[in-house]
Structure 1
Amino acid sequence: MQFSDYLDDIARATGFLSRLPMPARHFEGHDGSLARASGMFPAAGLIIGLCPALVVLILSTFDANAALTAVLSLAVLVGVTGALHEDGLADAADAFGARGGREHMLEIMKDSRIGTYGVLALLISFALRGLALTIILSVIGGWSTCLVLLAVAAASRGAMVWHWNTLPPARHNGVAASVGAPEESARTLALASGAILFVALITLTSGLLTAILSLALMAAAAIQWTAVVRAKLNGHTGDTIGATQQITETVCLTALALLL
């Protein structure tokens, strides 16, 4: 691959995962497949994570309240991604929380309405992330919290690719199926780059042991979630992929807050 191919993949991955505008030249003649571009999900995560990181940096420079800074940074993150992953978490929670078989759960995921389980999942996820970021910001400061946000954004999107590649499609007419499953090389690249970026950035802020422990907990969460999805659906959907990002991000931020 040429350097321009990597730039194309980063732009395509970022465009898929967020609402950030990407130059049109990176999409000319492209068929919409993410089979190769999914390997750049961690890099796209860095770009997406820059937005809430800048909010933290600016507000912490003016000694703004840590809790308010944390909530505002999460609000910006939701705006940048268009709540793409939160939607997946809510739909997956509604489907798995309801009684019924595989087809019933898939039907619930297709329903645009949100139920009790989805609301609770979003509330718990947002509360844990907001509280964890407040603690992290209070303990290590603005600059280091920026690096934490970048690290978690990269690694959690690497986890998405692993989940996506590990399971077959639960249905063949969904968004995840339409853009193609990640290639083996893309999965390897996403996992390796996500893990390396995470360990490097967290080591700078909190030490190597904290980085390894929090990464291990993130991996355990991704593995357990994937096992649940396999048992329930025997395959992934766009919602379960998005939920993977939310679950691993929430677990990792909570772990870091506890470990600091």
Structure 2
Amino acid sequence: MQFSDYIDDLARSTGFLSRLPMPARHFSGHDGSLSRAAGMFPATGLIIALCPGLAILILSAFEANAALTAILALSLLIGVTGALHEDGLADSADALGARGGREQMLEIMKDSRIGTYGVLALVISFALRVTALTIIISVIGGWSAFLICLAVGSASRTAMVWHWTVLTQARQDGVAASVGAPEDRARTLALISGAALFVLLVTLASGLVTALLGLALLAAAAGSWTSLVRSKLGGHTGDTIGATQQICETVCLATLALLL
């Protein structure tokens, strides 16, 4: 692959995972597949996390309240992604919370309406992330919180690739099926670069032990969620992939906050 191919993949993955505008030339003649571009998901996570991360830096420089800073940063993050992953979390919670079989769960995921389980999942996720980020900002300061924000943004999207490749498709007509499965090379690139970026950034922010423990808990969360989805649905959907990001981001931020 040439360097320009990596730039194209980065633009395509960023365009898919966020609402950030990307130059049209990167999509010219492209079939919409993410099979190769999935390898750049960790780098895309860095780009997406830059927006809330910079908000944390700026507000911390003015000694703004840590809780308010955390809420504003996460609100900005949701705006950048268009709540793409939150939608996946809510739909997955509604489906898996229902008392029905596999086909009923898949039908619930297609429903645009949100149910009780979806609302609760979103509230709990947002509350945990705000609380964890507030602790991180208060204990280690804005610069270190900025680095952790980048690390978690990258690693949680790395987990999406892992979930995506470990499971087969639960249905043939969903978003995940339409964009193709990640290639082996893309999966390897995502897993290695995502883990390396996480360890490097968290080590700079809070030390190597914290970084390794945080990575271990993130991997455990991704593994547990993937096992649950396999047992209930027999494969992934676009919603379960998005939910993977939310679950891993929440678990990772909470873990890092507890370790400080």
Shared fold (TM-score, shorter chain, > 0.5): yes
Residue in 2 aligned with 1:209?
A: 209
Q: RMSD of the alignment, in Å?
A: 0.4
- Provide the secondary structure at the position in 1 that maps to 2:33: coil
One-letter amino acid of the structure 1 residue matched with residue 24 of structure 2: A
Q: Deviation string for 1:49-104 (max 9, x for gaps)?
A: 00000110111111000000000000000000000000000000000001000000
Q: Deviation string for 1:106-148 (max 9, x for gaps)?
A: 0000000000000000000000000000000001100110100
Residue in 1 aligned with 2:232?
A: 232
Residue in 1 aligned with 2:139?
A: 139
Residue in 2 aligned with 1:30?
A: 30
In 2, Cα distance between equivalents of 1:231 and 1:182? 22
Residue in 1 aligned with 2:167?
A: 167
Residue in 2 aligned with 1:113?
A: 113
In 2, Cα distance between equivalents of 1:173 and 1:97? 23
1:1-260 alignment, distance < 5 Å: 1-260=1-260
- 1:185 shift after superposition: 1.0
List gaps (5 residues or longer) in structure 1: none
TM-score by length of 2: 1.00
One-letter amino acid of the structure 1 residue matched with residue 147 of structure 2: L
* Off by >6 Å, runs of 4+ in structure 1: none
In 1, Cα distance between equivalents of 2:126 and 2:193? 26
One-letter amino acid of the structure 2 residue matched with residue 233 of structure 1: L
In 2, Cα distance between equivalents of 1:160 and 1:136? 24
- Provide the secondary structure at the position in 2 that maps to 1:63: coil
- Provide the secondary structure at the position in 1 that maps to 2:228: helix
- Provide the secondary structure at the position in 1 that maps to 2:199: helix
Amino-acid identity (%): 78
One-letter amino acid of the structure 2 residue matched with residue 86 of structure 1: E
One-letter amino acid of the structure 2 residue matched with residue 222 of structure 1: A
One-letter amino acid of the structure 2 residue matched with residue 83 of structure 1: A
- Provide the secondary structure at the position in 1 that maps to 2:173: coil
Q: Deviation string for 1:181-232 (max 9, x for gaps)?
A: 0011111111111000000000001100000001000000000000000000
- Provide the secondary structure at the position in 2 that maps to 1:55: helix
In 2, Cα distance between equivalents of 1:165 and 1:73? 31
In 1, Cα distance between equivalents of 2:113 and 2:57? 36
In 1, Cα distance between equivalents of 2:243 and 2:188? 21
List gaps (5 residues or longer) in structure 2: none
In 1, Cα distance between equivalents of 2:257 and 2:2? 40
TM-score by length of 1: 1.00
For these two proteins, the number of residue pairs brought into alignment is 260
In 1, Cα distance between equivalents of 2:205 and 2:51? 19
